Structure 1
Amino acid sequence: MDAFNTTANDVLTIERSVPHTVLPEQDTPGGSIFLSSIDNAALTIISTVYAFDRSDANVKLGVQFVEASADCRIENLGSIQIIDPDLAGKLVYRDPTENMLEDGPLLTVQVTKFKCGGFTLGMAIHHCMVDGVGAINFMNSWAELARGKSLFLIPYHDRTILKSRVPPQIRGPYDDFVRVSDVSDITASFEREQIVYKSFHFDADKLETLKKMITTGGQEMSSCSNFVALAALVWRARSMALKMKPHQLSKLLIAFDFRLKLRTSVPEGYFGNALLAPSCLCTAGELIDQPISSATGKINKAIERVTEDYVRSSIDFFDTYHYDPYSVSSLLISSWLRLDYSCIDFGWGGPRQLGTGNPLLNLCLFMRDESKNKKGTVVALGLPLSAMNTFEELVRI
Structure 2
Amino acid sequence: MAKVTILSTETIKPSQPTINSFPSIPLSLLDQLAPPIYTHILFFYSTYLPEIPEKLKSSLSRSLNYFYPFAGRIREIGKGKLHVECNGEGAEFVEARVTGATMESIRHGPVVEIFNELLPIKKSLFDFQESGPLLAVQISVLDGGGFVLGVSISHLIADGASLSMFLNWWSRTARGFAENLSPATLPPRFDCAAVFPPKEMTHMTIHKRSSEDSGSNQDVAMRCFSINSKAMEMLKQVGGTTTKSTRVEAVSALIWRCIKRVQTGNRLSISHVVNFRKRMAPVLSNESIGNMWINVEIPDLGIETESTGGIEQSIRRTVQGVNEQVVRMKVQEMWDGREGKGKEQREKGTEGVEWIFTSWCRMGWYDCDFGFEVPDWVACGITAMKNVCTLMDAKDGQGMEVWLWMAMEEMERIESDSEFRLFVTSS
Normalised by the size of structure 2, how large is the TM-score?
0.72
Matched position secondary structure for 1:55: coil
Query: In the alignment, is residue 41 of structure 1 matched against residue 68 of structure 2?
Result: no
2:256 partner amino acid: W
Query: In the alignment, is residue 213 of structure 1 matched against residue 206 of structure 2?
Result: no
Match of 1:75 among 90, 103, 110: 103
Uncovered stretches (5+) of structure 2, i.e. residues with no partner: 62-90, 200-214, 423-427
| Corresponding position of 1:127 | 155
Once residues 217 and 125 of structure 2 are traced to their aligned partners in structure 1, the CA distance between those partners, rounded to angstroms, is 27
Matched position secondary structure for 1:124: strand
| Corresponding position of 2:362 | 338
Contact kept? 1:128, 1:272, Cα under 8 Å: yes
Once residues 95 and 191 of structure 1 are traced to their aligned partners in structure 2, the CA distance between those partners, rounded to angstroms, is 15
| Corresponding position of 1:354 | 378
- C-alpha distance after superposition, 1:48-71 (max 9, x if no partner): 111122132232325211111122
Once residues 129 and 374 of structure 1 are traced to their aligned partners in structure 2, the CA distance between those partners, rounded to angstroms, is 28
Query: In the alignment, is residue 155 of structure 1 matched against residue 223 of structure 2?
Result: no
Match of 1:31 among 9, 14, 23: 23
Distance 1:208 1:54, change over 3 A: closer
Deviation at 1:138, TM superposition (A): 0.6
Percent of residue pairs bearing the same amino acid type: 22
Contact kept? 2:141, 2:147, Cα under 8 Å: yes
1:301 partner amino acid: R
| Corresponding position of 1:389 | 412
Once residues 123 and 48 of structure 2 are traced to their aligned partners in structure 1, the CA distance between those partners, rounded to angstroms, is 31
Once residues 13 and 116 of structure 1 are traced to their aligned partners in structure 2, the CA distance between those partners, rounded to angstroms, is 13
Deviation at 1:72, TM superposition (A): 4.8
| Corresponding position of 1:59 | 53
Greater Cα offset, 127-136 or 203-212 = 203-212
Matched position secondary structure for 1:235: helix
Uncovered stretches (5+) of structure 1, i.e. residues with no partner: 1-10, 167-189
Once residues 242 and 78 of structure 1 are traced to their aligned partners in structure 2, the CA distance between those partners, rounded to angstroms, is 29
- C-alpha distance after superposition, 1:184-231 (max 9, x if no partner): xxxxxx989843322332223323333443217xxxx76432321221
2:269 partner amino acid: K
Greater Cα offset, 127-136 or 28-37 = 28-37
Structure 1 stretches of 4+ moved >4 Å:
95-98, 190-194, 323-328
1:295 partner amino acid: I
Matched position secondary structure for 1:278: strand
Query: In the alignment, is residue 143 of structure 1 matched against residue 171 of structure 2?
Result: yes
1:184-333 to 2 correspondence within 5 Å? 194-215=219-240, 223-245=244-266, 248=267, 250-262=268-280, 264-282=282-300, 287-288=302-303, 290-292=305-307, 293-319=309-335, 322=338, 329-333=353-357
Once residues 37 and 300 of structure 1 are traced to their aligned partners in structure 2, the CA distance between those partners, rounded to angstroms, is 27
2:318 partner amino acid: A
Distance 1:114 1:364, change over 3 A: same
Deviation at 1:380, TM superposition (A): 1.8
| Corresponding position of 1:4 | none
Once residues 149 and 352 of structure 2 are traced to their aligned partners in structure 1, the CA distance between those partners, rounded to angstroms, is 30
Once residues 41 and 94 of structure 2 are traced to their aligned partners in structure 1, the CA distance between those partners, rounded to angstroms, is 15
Contact kept? 2:380, 2:403, Cα under 8 Å: no
**RMSD across aligned positions (CA):** 3.3
| Corresponding position of 1:367 | 392
Once residues 209 and 323 of structure 1 are traced to their aligned partners in structure 2, the CA distance between those partners, rounded to angstroms, is 45
- C-alpha distance after superposition, 1:11-57 (max 9, x if no partner): 22111035332333333356332222222222211111111221322
| Corresponding position of 1:14 | 4
Q: How many residues align?
A: 351
Deviation at 1:354, TM superposition (A): 1.0
